[in-house]
Amino acid sequence: MLTSDEDVIPYSFDGTAALKQRPLCVTFPRTTEEVSACVKLAAQHGVPVVTRGSGTGLSGGSVPIANGVVLCLVKMDRIMELDARNLVMRAQCGVVTKEIDDAAAQYGLFYPPDPGSMKISTIGGNVAENSGGLRGLKYGVTRDYVMGMTVVLADGEIATLGSKCVKDVAGYSLKDLFIGSEGTLGIITEVLIKLLPRPAARKTMLALYDSMEAAAQTVSAIIAAKIIPCTLEFLDRMTVGCVEDYARIGLPTDVEALLLMETDGHPAAVADEAARMLEIAKQNGARETKMAGDEAEGARLATARRNAFSALARVRPTTILEDVTVPRSELATMVKFIADTAAKHQLLIGTFGHMGDGNLHPTFLTNEKDADEMHRVEAALGEIVEKTISLGGTVTGEHGVGLAKKAFLRQQFGDASYGLLKKVKASLDPNGLLNPGKIFE
């Protein structure tokens, strides 16, 4: 357990800009039973508990509460079972996401969800945020791979949910309640994960455009052609410029949009789909296309997207990464609205994201010490969120509500559904000790 100022400072914030709070202490349990003991003790004394994985969250979910305990679960890092006959893996919550897929790969298996933070984030954090990634279009998000879990409840009791059975409809699907619950309903200590056979082949392509509309049209046309690629990601002009400056991969910096496309599966199907996707990109106005010759070149092309956040983060002292999501048909409208909003408020916003999922990451490059600029950021953020809701979108596609989005949740849900969310919280955490202040105002 850490208690001194110097020791707890690194646990006072997560990946979200401008949010900090010193906790009372930080504890590092190693087993479900130790988590249970901590929670029982905290419940006895009425002390709030904030669960933390690697702290890479982008909505303030693991920012501590004053006088609260932080349960940091990174030492719960054991893969407990890889059952290749049933295509499942059981892991403690602190295992790093990439290690899950690396372990699966040794058996020719595949764990598809690949958040940009996969080299650092924990599987428990991924489940608690229902994280997505670059392969979401074809393979879905974390929820689609959770078959079961062990959860420590608000009173310290230990519940086991779900099973290895492919079909299991016994009772309510309680595990689903905890997926995306952001540490507000219970502490997920172990996860039972579904694995897939590893795809035998993959092709990676880039297409460069003089207009964002043309890139969006390409995405619609690919889907209309009944191709479901595993990845359809885009970068806007500012992001391409920052990536090139950072990674020097030879991208032209005068393009309005870059599309990263990937298809995987049987080699014959991959070759056919890749050729058709490049053709569709050209028909829809791509000024240049590239297909990687091999895996290594594919990884190099994908670097453009994988480095987008880090490249943008170098430009100004503070980076605020947004996560709005709209129906795919509204993507071009939304991207234009973001660019207009940036100009109106004289702000720097680079936009990239999961074009195939309608999930955009407008990234504010700003300075939290400049009060005037931060007011403009706040105004622009509010306008972007309002527009998203008016287009039938959602305030968060993958980063969660946490502290950052809680002001907008009632508006998106409406009174009746918001009330339902609060009833669930009140019934599972009646004393409000699990991650208080998050999700709800």
What are the residues binding ligand FAD (CB under 6 A)? Answer: 14-15, 50-58, 61-62, 73, 93, 115-117, 121-122, 124-126, 128-129, 131-133, 182-183, 187-188, 309, 398-399, 402, 435
Residue 343 Cβ vs ligand FAD, minimum distance, rounded to whole Å:
26
Between 21 and 121, CB nearer to ligand FAD: 121
Q: How many angstroms separate the CA atoms of 319 and 146, rounded? A: 31
Between 182 and 330, CB nearer to ligand FAD: 182
Residue 16 Cβ vs ligand FAD, minimum distance, rounded to whole Å:
9
Between 68 and 241, CB nearer to ligand FAD: 68
* Closest alpha carbon to 407 in 427, 381, 425: 381
Sheet strands (E) in 115-199: 146-152, 158-162, 187-194, 196-197
Q: 96-99 long-range CB contacts below 8 Å, 24 or more apart?
A: 96/54, 96/120, 96/121, 96/122, 96/123, 97/121, 97/122, 97/123, 97/126
The residues with which 81 forms a beta bridge, in sequence order, are 90
Between 30 and 376, CB nearer to ligand FAD: 30
Between 62 and 263, CB nearer to ligand FAD: 62
Residue 52 Cβ vs ligand FAD, minimum distance, rounded to whole Å:
4
Residue at 39: amino acid letter = V
Instruction: Give just the sign of the alpha carbon dihedral 3, 6, 7, 11.
Output: positive
Residue 174 Cβ vs ligand FAD, minimum distance, rounded to whole Å:
14
Residue 166 Cβ vs ligand FAD, minimum distance, rounded to whole Å:
25
Between 214 and 401, CB nearer to ligand FAD: 401
Residue 124 Cβ vs ligand FAD, minimum distance, rounded to whole Å:
3
Q: How many angstroms separate the CA atoms of 151 and 64, rounded? A: 20
What residues contact residue 151 under an 8 Å CB cut-off, 6+ apart? 158, 159, 161, 178, 186, 187, 188, 189
Between 54 and 218, CB nearer to ligand FAD: 54
From the number of C-beta atoms within 10 Å of its C-beta (0-12, 13-18, 19+), residue 47 rates as: middle
Residue 354 Cβ vs ligand FAD, minimum distance, rounded to whole Å:
8
Contact assessment for residue 12 and residue 34, using Cβ atoms and an 8 Å cutoff: no
